[in-house]
Amino acid sequence: MFNKCISMTFSIEHEMEDAASASSKVTPFPYGAFCPGGLNTDPAISPNDPTIGYKFNHTMIRVRDPKESLKFYVDLMGMRTVFTMNAGPFTNYYLGYPQTDDHRADPAKFGADTSKVFQSTIGLLELFHVHGSEKQEPGFYHNGNTPESLGFGHMGFTVPDARAALARLNAHGVKVFKDFGVANKETIPISDWENEHGVGVEVKGTESELHPMFKKAYENIALVQDPVSLSESTSKPK
């Protein structure tokens, strides 16, 4: 029984709505429906639950050249350094977004203040530089989007004016992988390699086909490539 999923199937052909497909057998969610809370089967969190106080603090990516990576995340994306630590064989850089006028005006104060509450802060990015990797060729590290090393997908940033942000990044030489208004097979994160293994195969006229309402939402998202931190792959995985 589906619980209050919001139907998004008002613009799809009737035969597609009713078609049986493999996808309906591997997911409990109705085709083309936006489901806040999923199926609403997650258990309530009791006042004495052992996970009270847990936070998603940061994610870590390996970087080959921290100088170039910091140009992207600090100069272009506007993050600021919370702290760094040279641990011997590697150095890590923790970055975040200042949330107050004082912190935006004084990045050193932002770093000092945020470091004091680091463990309770959310939304941080760790750049992990293993010493010596900067001497390796581009592509030394996989990006998680290249077969047969698929896994990590992307990081999502929300910005006040996405089109202006995209134009600015593009002007600074950042590669635009998917522009606004685009929602074709080449930009969907399913590789030809997966299709060849029977994974994520679309069959036209069935519920395995990419839903029109997802395409409509996807058109409002742009994707750019971090030009230095990950692998040199610049196109959809094949």
Looking up residue 104, the CATH number of its domain turns out to be: 3.10.180.10
Q: What is the pLDDT of residue 163?
A: 95
Query: What are the beta bridge partners of residue 146?
Result: none
Query: How many domains does the structure of the chain reveal?
Result: 1
- Which token pair is 41? 């089967």
Q: How far, rounded to the nearest angstrom, does the alpha carbon of residue 140 sit from its chain's CA centroid? A: 21
In sequence order, the β-bridge partners of residue 91 are: 86, 129
Does some domain include residue 28? no
Q: Which pair of tokens denotes residue 55?
A: 């936070």
The alpha carbons of the chain give a radius of gyration, in whole angstroms, of 21
Residue 205 maps to a domain: no
On whether residue 33 sits in a domain, the answer given is no
Confidence (pTM): 0.80
Beta strands in 103-229 (DSSP E): 124-130, 176-178, 223-224
Tokens of 7: 């139907």
Copy the structure tokens of residue 160: 């006040």
Query: Residue 1 falls within a domain, yes or no?
Result: no
Question: Is residue 42 a part of any domain in this protein?
Answer: no
User: Which residues form the domain of 126?
Assistant: 58-154
Ordered per-residue pLDDT tens for the chain, 238 residues = 334 566 544 333 433 444 344 444 678 888 888 889 998 899 999 999 999 999 999 999 999 989 999 999 999 999 999 999 999 999 999 999 999 999 999 999 999 999 999 999 999 999 999 999 999 988 888 877 777 777 777 899 999 999 999 999 999 999 998 999 998 888 887 877 888 888 877 778 877 788 888 888 999 999 998 876 544 444 454 4
pLDDT of residue 229: 52
Four-CA torsion 225, 230, 234, 236, nearest 10 degrees: -90
Distance, CA of 200 to CA of 145 (rounded, Å):
15
